[in-house]
Structure 1
Amino acid sequence: MASLVQFLPLFPFFFLVSFCVSHGPFLPKAIILPVNKDPSTFQYVTQLYMGATHRAPIKLVVDLEGSFLWADCGLTSDSSSQKLVPCNSLKCSMAKPNGCTNDNKICGLKSENPFTRLAATGELAEDMFAVEFIDELKTGSVASIHQFLFSCTSSTLLQGLARGAKGMLGLGNSRIALPSQLSDTFGFQRKFAICLSSSNGAIISGESPYLSLLSHDVSRSMLYTPLISSRNGVSEEYYINVKSLKINGKKLSLNTTLLTMDGEGQGGTRISTISPFTTMKTSIYKTFVEAYERFGFSMGLTKVEPIAPFGLCFSTKLEEGLNVPSVDLVLQSEMVKWRIYESNSMVKVSDEVMCLGFLDGGANQKASIVIGGHQLEDNLLEFNLGTSMLGFTSSLSMVETSCSDFMFSKDSSPFDS
């Protein structure tokens, strides 16, 4: 299997402009970041450029729920344009600091690696970052984001990240996560979209013309559901309310209270780019897997010994035209459901075996269901933070396109492999 794609330099391919040029043909409609999947860790990796004079490329693992961008201080400290943010400043208060560092002078932020659960207190810093944008002509140009806030933290947090990654890019609902900072800088709505795939995908922040970058218009196939939070306040993570589960159109017999978020933030369905596969609380998973197995048998599937980490696997040996059960996440009504087709429900683990890509998250998993990366691939998801709504398409293969069909600049994608 190929190693993590090597990122080529961005700036020889694109015309660099600073966003202080805010009029004319280079007025951004949206910001677009190409994303690649690391096959060894199943992590989604993007790249930005940091610094005003010597723009250094920096690879970052995408964290949909992350509160901010954090990066290795050893990499970022070489930037002459980087400045540390004082404690008790307005920018520090925006970041919800974890105290102060450096003799109580510098704003401190707690950064965490969600894969290893290691955490460290870093320093809030600001620097110039460069990103590609979509202009009126739909050509790739690059805009500089001045005074972008991020956490400069310890290299010990890099353990467990994809090869070459120097930090993590947070897309959560916070004041200093990437979507909010892009909105503040460029003046468009607080919304962004992700379109992941097993190869190339994209993160897009801004207005809807990004839909035209796909080879097929998917706007009419999008459905919408509210983003929810606990009664204690707005969550920086993204939850939706799944009312029931269906397999092949048949509703599972589940206690609906198992699916609902309570006032303490327990339950609900969370969307994650950190979990490689969807996980369910044990009580839900048991009912789900037993029902899926029954429907699989009725459709002619042959069960085989499961292969870790999966709990249910089927044979594909000597079989042609296999059909597998569909899965529906029923949302606010029976008319609004997120259908998960074979490409997102099954994982091919060998030439002879495919496994159900849903895992037992344990009895103590906080969310009832965590929708993971495999189930998100080739599904376009639009997070509108202003209206607290999620737009989604289900599998783009149903309209004969995919997330890897995003058309970047004419000359090259920054992530040419």
Structure 2
Amino acid sequence: MHLLLHLIVIVLAFISHEHRAMAQYVPPYTSIVVPVNKHTDAAKPLYSVQIMTSYVNMQYSHANFLIDIDAPFIWHDCILQWNIYPGSCPNNTLCTSPVSCEEYQCTDVRTTYSYENPSCPPVTNSSTLPGWGDCTCPVNVADPVTGSCGEALLNYDEFTVNTSIGKNVFTGLYGAYPNAACAPPSSFESFPANVTGVMALSSSPYALPAYLFQPLKKTLALCLPSKSSMPGVLFFGSGPYFLLPNSSVDVRSYLSYTTLLKHPDSFGYFIGINAIVIKQKSIGIPGNFSTKLSTLDPYTILRTDIYNRVLQIFSRYTVGIPKVSPIAPFGLCFRISTTTHAGFKFPDIDFNLNDGKKWTISMANSMKQITKDVTCLAFVDGGSTAEPAIVIGTYQYENNFLEFDLENSIFGFSSSLLLKQTSCSNFNFTLTDGN
């Protein structure tokens, strides 16, 4: 009996020691980091992240996923196999393991975390794969470019990303194992070239943030580039974050914060805007509306009554700049050549937030050069019944540093980094060993 008690004490001591060792372990990284690319070869500007998806012939394969902060789950170009063994997957193809229709993830995704699209037909369990013969789990997906409905098969996936302490990229890797979905190659015909997936970064439990665990803090930081030739950066973790040339300045010092709001019909992110201000002239936002943050809409969308007031006041304060006929989708354009652009000053547009903070949209994010002689106010009319009344689009994010703190439900924003003599394309992607 005494021997048994002695053994129990030894085992418990060993377990306690292991737990203390795990608790004391401090990893050499504070975040994961991936490049963000801008694409202009689709129907609208879009942005992608590059993820490592499989390890073949002693090296990782990479795939580009559109960034979607509203999507309920990840989906991409891959195929399912019940039994994956070396050599069983076709060349240049990503193979993953299927989720059975009998598993709880299948029912959960279909009933609670699916794409809401009225054009999608009901899914069934009729699909099977060679091998075991078990039923797979078809789920609906929505093309973010065309809005059309498609079908994918839920899977067990594996993604790999680099780690960082916010200054550069480590050779050390981090693995994530989400339930994603496989769609056929034809599903991505409307996507930009070499983009074959949608990366869900929403609040859904099937989006990527839900699969990123300790020691990473549940904070997503996004910095969209303004040029296709130079990548921006996405972090997930506690920070700090650094951009050249001020490599000793944590970008978080530039941020103001406001509350992230929830919307009952969306997994996306919302903030409260109570007024739009141009040159001290305030446009009140009537009602208790929340503003949606979008990574798929290229320009900020305003409900018609708000949009008309913005155009009216903006026109009043740009009376000295020659106007030209509007170029769709914009409603207010000016004759201003690229060579004389610096000689004109357009007013800032401030989003006044519910908690007293102010997000300033400077000229770099409010004016879009359309031709060498014409620039337009980069806001669009969403119609008289638009809901939400305001959707902030990606042109307004470019070279702004955005932080989604999902643990504390707060949103950080920098306004234009160009005013700080840096940009989203100034992260140092040089690979180091982290020592």
Normalising by structure 1, what TM-score?
0.82
Select which of 332, 339, 347 maps to 1:312. Answer: 332
Contact 1:94 1:175 in 2 (8 A): no
Change (3 A) 1:156 1:179: same
* Residue deviations 1:148-189 (CA, integer Å, cap 9, x gap): 32111233321321111111111111112112212x3x4422
* Residue deviations 1:47-71 (CA, integer Å, cap 9, x gap): 1121244543212111121222111
Find the aligned partners of 1:191 and 1:86 in 2 and give their Cα distance.
32
1:255 deviation in Å? 5.2
1:277 deviation in Å? 0.9
Select which of 409, 413, 421 maps to 1:388. Answer: 409
Aligned pairs for 1:31-70 (under 5 A) are 31-41=32-42, 42-53=45-56, 55-70=60-75
Select which of 63, 74, 77 maps to 1:72. Answer: 77
Select which of 269, 292, 308 maps to 1:270. Answer: 292
Structure 2 equivalent of residue 343 of structure 1: 364
Structure 1 equivalent of residue 86 of structure 2: none
Contact 1:34 1:46 in 2 (8 A): yes
Change (3 A) 1:210 1:23: farther
2:413 is the alignment partner of 1:397: no
Partner amino acid, structure 2, of 1:276: P
Find the aligned partners of 2:49 and 2:185 in 1 and give their Cα distance.
19
Aligned pairs for 1:286-325 (under 5 A) are 286-297=308-319, 300-317=320-337, 319=340, 321-325=343-347
Structure 2 equivalent of residue 4 of structure 1: none
Q: Which runs of 5+ in 1 are unaligned?
A: 1-20, 262-267, 413-417
1:209 deviation in Å? 2.0
Find the aligned partners of 1:333 and 1:80 in 2 and give their Cα distance.
47
SS in 2 for 1:209: coil
Select which of 188, 200, 205 maps to 1:158. Answer: 188
Greater C-alpha Rg = 2
Aligned pairs for 1:236-255 (under 5 A) are 236-252=267-283, 254=284
2:105 is the alignment partner of 1:83: no
SS in 2 for 1:362: coil
Structure 1 equivalent of residue 135 of structure 2: 105
Find the aligned partners of 1:149 and 1:409 in 2 and give their Cα distance.
31
Find the aligned partners of 1:194 and 1:136 in 2 and give their Cα distance.
13
SS in 2 for 1:35: strand
Structure 1 equivalent of residue 218 of structure 2: 190
Q: How many residues align?
A: 376
Structure 2 equivalent of residue 206 of structure 1: 237
SS in 2 for 1:163: coil
2:171 is the alignment partner of 1:141: yes
Partner amino acid, structure 1, of 2:410: M
Partner amino acid, structure 2, of 1:29: T
| More divergent stretch after superposition (371-380 vs 282-291) | 282-291
Q: Which runs of 5+ in 2 are unaligned?
A: 1-21, 82-88, 115-122, 129-133
1:402 deviation in Å? 0.8
Structure 1 equivalent of residue 354 of structure 2: 332
Find the aligned partners of 1:132 and 1:207 in 2 and give their Cα distance.
15
Q: Kindly, what percent of the aligned residue pairs are identical?
A: 30
Normalising by structure 2, what TM-score?
0.79
Contact 2:218 2:238 in 1 (8 A): no
Change (3 A) 1:203 1:80: closer
| More divergent stretch after superposition (129-138 vs 242-251) | 129-138
Find the aligned partners of 1:284 and 1:135 in 2 and give their Cα distance.
42
Change (3 A) 1:56 1:129: same
| More divergent stretch after superposition (94-103 vs 186-195) | 94-103
Find the aligned partners of 2:390 and 2:166 in 1 and give their Cα distance.
40
Partner amino acid, structure 1, of 2:255: M
Find the aligned partners of 2:178 and 2:262 in 1 and give their Cα distance.
27
Partner amino acid, structure 2, of 1:189: K
| More divergent stretch after superposition (70-79 vs 359-368) | 70-79
1:381 deviation in Å? 0.6
Contact 1:194 1:203 in 2 (8 A): yes
1:142 deviation in Å? 4.4
SS in 2 for 1:60: strand
Find the aligned partners of 2:427 and 2:270 in 1 and give their Cα distance.
26
Find the aligned partners of 2:196 and 2:211 in 1 and give their Cα distance.
20
2:164 is the alignment partner of 1:121: no
Change (3 A) 1:277 1:136: closer
Change (3 A) 1:36 1:138: closer
Q: Please provide the CA RMSD for this pair.
A: 2.8
Partner amino acid, structure 1, of 2:171: S
Find the aligned partners of 1:406 and 1:23 in 2 and give their Cα distance.
30
SS in 2 for 1:228: coil
Find the aligned partners of 2:183 and 2:94 in 1 and give their Cα distance.
17
Structure 1 equivalent of residue 260 of structure 2: 227
